Structure 1
Amino acid sequence: MKIGYISTYPPTRCGIAEYTRFLVEAIYSISDYVKVYVFSDTYGKPIYPYIDGNCIVIPSFNPRAEGYYKELIASIDDVEDLDIVHIQHEYGIFHGDKCLIKLMRGLKKRNIPISITLHTVLHHNKGRRYVKLQREIAENADVVIVHSLLQEYELRAQGVDLRRIVRIPHGTKLLSDKVKADKEELGIPSDKAVLLTFGFLRRDKGLEDAIKVFRLLLREHEDVHLVIAGAPQTKEDILYLSKLTKIVMKGLPTKSYTMIRRYLPLEDLMKILSIADVILMLYKERPDHYSVSGVLHLAMGAGKPIVCSRSSRLIEYTELVPELVYYGRGIGELKILVERALYDEELREKATERIMEYAKKTSWERVSERHLELYAELMERRGLEIDFTLSAMSTLWRL
């Protein structure tokens, strides 16, 4: 089976790029009968195709350029006998409604089955333009993949045929037992309990609340240490982070927290996750946007208790461990939740058990199995010959 992904791809620093790499690696880990091409963005990449692991990366488009679909179609035409094209869609990447639809129509003319993952589904309150676009995307795709029930039924409410929609959870990277790190590597005393918040450092990540609750905890608990790890994503984020460190963190003892202000390679991130005792995800709601947090799945893969806000991006966790969900009733409420996550051993054990069960169910290997099964179904509908098998150890599953 020849699969073509249209997506950003590392070294581009974005969640979709990492998502696609995780998915591709997992597909190769479970099947010996696939060949994957990634028709990627051109940012930070050579002008010629290259090999990344087992897949062939073909830098093909600048998503901000007018008419980018022409470059993509040309690159796809250079690869013979693609069995499926899968678009990893995010509004921050694919600018210009007409270009995307022209791309999909061009693929349909070539009789290539089209799968598209809508990583963000916009609520109808965003306006008729986006309702029309999301309908057009669905009409031109063989299948639309979403990650959550909220996304699934929002599309249904907008008139998308439910039979075209398939829900596959976001994949989860499980923290390997081989990852070894200790707190002292980061200059943190080994007897400190680490509160971690990580990912792209933006205004909507609730960093102020994390710092405020940490300041409150320090008054009663000398054994806590805050780690903020990640990089700003835009110029606006850089200014926000500068203000945060100057004003919000002012007066905190410098040895009580660690700021790691850089983009973290996966290996470094896994080490930091391994030393965390509690993870804070105090996201602000983004009105009219339905998506699922990739950072949440990295956190769950580490099997650590998470204290999170009631954000639609975190809906999986709010259903999984409601005891540790912050309702936004004030820092006092948040302090109690963090203390429970740190010191209530019975709750920590229950939370960890539920988290790990869900993390294994949504592991990248299992999610990639569902993708391959779906691709085979699409090929069968088109009367195309299917030539792939999964490894003997894998079992196809339905969600």
Structure 2
Amino acid sequence: MKILHLSTWEERCGIATYTRQLVDALNGLGIENEVYPVNRVKLSYASLKEIEDHYLAFCERAHEFDLIHIQHEHGFFHGSYPFNVSIKIFNLILSNLKKTRKPVLVTFHTDPAFLNIEAAPVEVDSGEVASVGASTVSVAPGLKDKLIAAIRKKVAQLRWNINISKFFKKDSLFTAISHSKKSRLQLVKSGFDVGAIKILVHAFPERDTDFQEEDICSIKKEIGLPRESIVLSIFGFVSKYKGYEVAIKALSNLPSDFVLAIIGGPHPEAKEKALDDVFRTIEILSLEEPEIAKRVFITGYVETEELNKFHRATDICLAPYLPSSISASGALTWALTSGKPVVASNIPAFRELNQKANCLRLFQPTAHRELAWHVQRLTRDKHEQQALVKNAAAYVQAHSWRTTAKDTYSLYKAALEKR
């Protein structure tokens, strides 16, 4: 069986890592794999015609393979052009793959983006409202902004239905893969047939656990953390939706021996100012609590060996994500394989995971005081810590990449039987 994959590849990208782990596991089953790389840096300098040609070349290669597997993230397809171009290019890909009469599987790593179009808060000069220790504040959008957002959402949904949803019908050669029941429902709401969607849980990395036996005090000293500190950590690319502001505000509500390690740096292709927002939050809180800056440690990008050291030094992993369109979190899979308990926000993807595995202590998104309360309770409750870690280990073992590769292979065989 020969599979052609479309994905980011061999770069600092969560989906590139996901694809590498999937391909390695499929290779172990004797499946022949080739990856057609999505080079986001190159495409960001490409004209629309060049982007189209890049993906048409991929479609031409598809004739040589038994099946095509696409990793979908909206940002892969529009280069430096607006979001609607992503839909146009993805339609171009699906239309040309349909002509090959080859089965096509698409793993959707985020829900259709238009489902989250809302009127954004408006930033105004803080002098126009109460003094809040910042130059600007956000106020709720007005009726006009909400109306415009609703129209944009409807137009985007119509564009998606016309260009994308039509391919994913029960008896077609196109199959959608989602990581959760919540994301499956979002795809159904976007126009996909129920019978064209399969659920594959996001797999977990297989980590060498030797790091969990190293002396914690020595590790803390080596990586520059206070010896007697209680370490909270967040791992992954620094993105706004991961809730760093929530974590830092929670830290300010915790005793001074608690510290926060932000393990990671900005994504190379990120256009947001997430890391700058982290510094801004620290600056604002420092006006009332000058010592807060000394309690936050930011590593920048780290390799696995360095991550292992920080996870060994960690007491509790945090995943304080804001509501977003993610179907799963690669960063959370690393937290759950760390051997440490995890406190996460109660967003749909994490809530669904916890319903199955009971491996997280959940708090309401953005509720920093509640997060601080949960952290303190969990710090004192060694029994719950052990239970969360044990439950996480069992769930991780049941959803390894080897298991996921076998499940993926079953989907491949089922898709080929449709021909």
Q: Which category describes the TM-score, using the shorter chain as reference length? A: 0.7 to 0.9
Letter in 1 for 2:210: K
User: Is residue 2:333 matched to residue 1:301?
Assistant: no
Letter in 1 for 2:297: T
Q: CA deviation at 1:64?
A: 6.3
Match of 1:217 in 2: 254
What are structure 2's unaligned runs of at least 5 residues? 79-84, 117-152
Match of 1:119 in 2: 109
User: Is residue 2:64 matched to residue 1:66?
Assistant: no
What SS does the aligned partner of 2:318 have?
strand
RMSD: 2.7
Q: 1:69 to 1:376 in 2, by over 3 A?
A: farther
Percentage of pairs with the same residue: 28
Match of 1:395 in 2: none
Letter in 2 for 1:83: D
Q: For residues 229 and 10 of structure 2, what CA distance do their matches in structure 1 show? A: 34
What SS does the aligned partner of 2:64 have?
coil
Q: For residues 43 and 328 of structure 1, what CA distance do their matches in structure 2 show? A: 31
Match of 1:52 in 2: none
Q: CA deviation at 1:241?
A: 3.3
Q: CA deviation at 1:100?
A: 1.3
What are structure 1's unaligned runs of at least 5 residues? 46-60, 383-399
Match of 1:147 in 2: 179
* Residues 73-121 of structure 1: per-residue CA shift (max 9 Å, x gap): 3245457731111111111222322221221221221222111111112
Q: For residues 270 and 137 of structure 1, what CA distance do their matches in structure 2 show? A: 43
User: Is residue 2:289 matched to residue 1:236?
Assistant: no
Q: 1:371 to 1:39 in 2, by over 3 A?
A: same
Q: CA deviation at 1:254?
A: 5.6
* Residues 117-153 of structure 1: per-residue CA shift (max 9 Å, x gap): 1111236573323344441342475211001101112
Q: 2:248, 2:282 within 8 Å by CA — same for their partners in 1?
A: no
Match of 2:401 in 1: 364
Q: 1:113 to 1:322 in 2, by over 3 A?
A: closer
TM-score (norm 2): 0.77
Q: 1:278 to 1:174 in 2, by over 3 A?
A: farther
Q: For residues 327 and 255 of structure 2, what CA distance do their matches in structure 1 show? A: 34
Q: For residues 188 and 239 of structure 1, what CA distance do their matches in structure 2 show? A: 22
Letter in 2 for 1:87: I
Q: For residues 120 and 64 of structure 1, what CA distance do their matches in structure 2 show? A: 24
Match of 2:16 in 1: 17
Q: 1:225 to 1:73 in 2, by over 3 A?
A: same
Match of 2:74 in 1: 91
Q: For residues 82 and 345 of structure 1, what CA distance do their matches in structure 2 show? A: 53
* Residues 32-90 of structure 1: per-residue CA shift (max 9 Å, x gap): x2221111123568xxxxxxxxxxxxxxx669642434323324545773111111111
Match of 1:275 in 2: 313
What SS does the aligned partner of 1:38 have?
strand
Q: For residues 208 and 25 of structure 2, what CA distance do their matches in structure 1 show? A: 15
Q: 1:309 to 1:351 in 2, by over 3 A?
A: same
Give the alignment of 1:1-399 within 5 angstroms. Answer: 1-11=1-11, 13-28=12-27, 30-31=28-29, 33-43=30-40, 65-67=47-49, 68-75=51-58, 77-78=60-61, 81-95=64-78, 96=85, 97-122=87-112, 124=115, 126-127=153-154, 128=157, 129-139=159-169, 141-179=173-211, 182-219=219-256, 222=257, 224-232=258-266, 233-248=270-285, 251-252=290-291, 255-260=294-299, 262-286=300-324, 289-319=325-355, 320-321=357-358, 324-327=361-364, 330-382=367-419
Q: For residues 239 and 19 of structure 1, what CA distance do their matches in structure 2 show? A: 27
* Residues 289-313 of structure 1: per-residue CA shift (max 9 Å, x gap): 3521121112112232111112234
Q: For residues 284 and 190 of structure 2, what CA distance do their matches in structure 1 show? A: 44
In the alignment of these two chains, the number of paired residues is: 358
Match of 1:388 in 2: none
Q: For residues 151 and 329 of structure 1, what CA distance do their matches in structure 2 show? A: 22
Match of 2:142 in 1: none
Q: For residues 54 and 360 of structure 2, what CA distance do their matches in structure 1 show? A: 50
* Residues 246-290 of structure 1: per-residue CA shift (max 9 Å, x gap): 333561266534221x2223343333223322011111113xx35
Structure richer in helix, relative to its length:
2
